Amino acid sequence: MGSEITISLDAMGGDHGPAIVIAGADIALERSPGLRFAIYGDDALVAPFLDQYPRVREASVFHHCDVTVQMDDKPSQALRKGRWKSSMWRTVQAVRDGEASAAVSAGNTGALMAMSKFCLKTQSDIERPAIAAIWPTLRGESIVLDVGATIGATAHTLVDLAVMGAAMARCLFNLERPTVGLLNIGVEEIKGLEQVQDAGRILREIDHPHFAYHGFVEGNDLGRGTVDVVVTEGFSGNIALKTAEGTARQIAEYLRAAMSRTLFARIGYVFARSAFAQLREKMDPGKVNGGVFLGLKGITIKSHGGTDPEGFASAIELARDMASSKLVEKIDRDLDMGYSAFIAERSANSEAAAQ
């Protein structure tokens, strides 16, 4: 994979800017020699790193940008000062104009979402775009969305998330009919917020041919991998994501402290080193770095701001996979199967009955 695919990169995004972006591009290029890059950033800051990584320089077209969106800029502020000029805007614009198949930035999440929505526009009948994250589980990996794009959701929005998340699972995991669950405080149908219950009823009734609705799932099902796609609204999804990342770091610190406490523990670590290496591999957030903005007429990938080169390479590879799998086209087809009208009518009837 990766042949004939151009990825646009915001070289100025994230905590470390071009140092991580260019190094990550080099790792991705080593694994996928057919990749090409359109890189946007400040020439004075990016050029030294392109000189350091000649393979990336040869595979890239560089575009100088005068403006950098700061990590603490408000989305509205970033739009005002960054439209047309910033590295972030031009990275997304390259996708809109057909110069790149997907965009990757480690920059300000709110600004990136605002610019992506403004520049790429939303897909048909999508009320709100979402951020989908890849979640490590005991069974492998699953997709969780929304993990922070918007707070709160109607039943209609939750069903849209299910359709989009399932399309992503089909692309990423090569599944014909992935399983989808709604995150709730219990698996019983009478539990949870009204909009979650209503979304569950809609998903059962439409019986979508491209995914199988499992029902409600709880927080402990995230790590188990009970379903391929977990759907929730952005407030609870973001809390779940940050909790999981913090727990992974906490366990890693516990293990590190335990293994260095005594001489026998250090000796035991030597014999169990390969097992601990596998555990670190499973728990490393960098291995699953990259949130996909779903619901837009183009692909934008948000990398963690503090990622390392390996993590940024993972985000590039995710962009490559989503582009080569025709993610946007799959979502369009799934949304265009007559279910949107049914969902809207069902939601309207439920809201009218509640009043």
pLDDT, one tens digit per residue, over 334-346 is: 777 656 555 556 5
Q: What is the DSSP letter of 67?
A: B
Are residues 62 and 148 both part of a single domain? no
Residue 96 and residue 114 share a domain: yes
pLDDT at 287: 59
The reply to whether 77 and 168 lie within a common domain is no
304 and 252 together in one domain: no
CATH of the domain at 177: 3.40.718.10
**Residue 47 class from Cβ within 10 Å (0-12 exposed, 13-18 middle, 19+ buried)?**
middle
The C-alpha angle 192, 197, 199, rounded to 5 degrees, equals 135
pLDDT on residue 354: 59
The whole-model pTM stands at: 0.84
What pLDDT does residue 2 have? 40
Residue 315 and residue 240 share a domain: no
116 and 41 within one domain = yes
For residues 89 and 68, membership in a common domain is answered with yes
Q: For the range 329-334, what are the long-range contacts, defined as Cβ-Cβ under 8 Å and sequence gap of 24 or more?
A: 330/167, 330/170, 330/171, 331/123, 331/163, 331/164, 331/167, 331/168, 331/294, 331/295, 332/123, 332/124, 334/163, 334/164, 334/166, 334/167, 334/208, 334/210
For the chain, 355 residues long, the average pLDDT of each consecutive 10-residue run is 79 93 96 95 96 95 92 83 86 96 94 92 84 87 89 89 92 91 88 89 87 93 92 89 78 74 70 63 62 93 90 94 90 71 59 60
169 and 149 in a common domain: yes
Q: Do 115 and 156 reside in the same domain of the chain?
A: no
Q: How many domains does the chain have?
A: 2
23, 106: one domain: yes
Helices 339-354 and 194-206: angle between axes, nearest 10 degrees: 140
Does one domain contain both 58 and 205?
no
Pairing status of strand 140-145 against strand 102-105: unpaired
Give the pLDDT confidence score for residue 126 in this predicted structure: 82
Both 129 and 109 in one domain: the answer is no
Its domain, for residue 237, covers: 123-293+326-355
Residues in the chain: 355
Backbone angles phi, psi at 39, to 5 degrees: -110, 135
